[in-house]
Amino acid sequence: MKATISLATLYFAFLTGCAAQPTPGSTETRAGERKSKEQQAHETASRAVAKIPAWYLTPPDDGQSLYAVGVATSGDMQFAIDRAVLSAKTDMASQVNSRVSARINELVRVSGFGKDQVTNAEVERVTQNVVNEIKLGGFNRSGYRREKAEVFPEGSGFRAYVLLRFPLAETTNIAREQVQKSPALGSLLPHLNKPD
């Protein structure tokens, strides 16, 4: 009798175990696999977000400098850093462009210098030169500085975050240098020597 009960118990356990396993390739199996992949992707994204430096999400604002952040990935750590710096320099160049353009346009207005098509074109050319110089690092002598950098492994590569700082006073120096090179805007130089 004991053998019959044990055999019946084994048979029932076998049937229950088989019934609980979805058939490979079935809709149920594919849904479970999809859910598992989605959960893994969510966990991976959550870990990546947790690693983002606070200064990347909210760059400093001290009133003395412009700050720009950049992020990049690469299989090579140094290349990831270089690409992140380039990304931040592009953002910084845009910020400096806005500052220099506004500064020169204000000087044009205050100085009584004529605002015509030639002046507008020259202001645009000068500010574009500023952007190009910053992107190429031409103003790095006392210009932008890499304040922070953090690198994290990601998959088989790296993710780099960088924070660059550019002194606001340097925008006036850049404007002065570019105006000196411009015959059309040369009369603005005395106004550039006045404080902001």
Q: Total structural domains in the chain?
A: 2
How far apart are the C-alpha atoms of 144 and 67, rounded to whole Å?
9
In this structure, are 108 and 151 located in the same domain?
yes
Give Cβ neighbours of residue 88 (< 8 Å, ≥ 6 apart).
Answer: 68, 69, 70, 162, 163, 164
Residue 138's domain spans which residues? 55-192
How far apart are the C-alpha atoms of 196 and 190, rounded to whole Å?
13
Residues 99/171, Cβ–Cβ less than 8 Å: yes
In this structure, are 40 and 87 located in the same domain?
no
In this structure, are 88 and 146 located in the same domain?
yes
In this structure, are 41 and 131 located in the same domain?
no
Q: What is the pLDDT of residue 98?
A: 80
In this structure, are 23 and 105 located in the same domain?
no
In this structure, are 35 and 128 located in the same domain?
no
Residue 124 or residue 57, greater confidence: 57
Residue 186 or residue 89, greater confidence: 89
Task: Report the C-alpha dihedral over residues 30, 34, 36, 38, rounded to 10 degrees.
Answer: 180
In this structure, are 82 and 169 located in the same domain?
yes
AA identity, residue 100: V
In this structure, are 36 and 73 located in the same domain?
no
In this structure, are 34 and 87 located in the same domain?
no
Q: What is the pLDDT of residue 141?
A: 44
In this structure, are 169 and 120 located in the same domain?
yes
Instruction: Categorize the per-residue pLDDT at 90 as very low, low, confident or very high, splitting at 50, 70 and 90.
Output: confident
Question: Which of 11, 29, 48 is a domain's end point?
Answer: 48
Ramachandran bin of 27, using left for φ above 0, alpha for ψ from -120 to 50, beta for the remaining angles: alpha
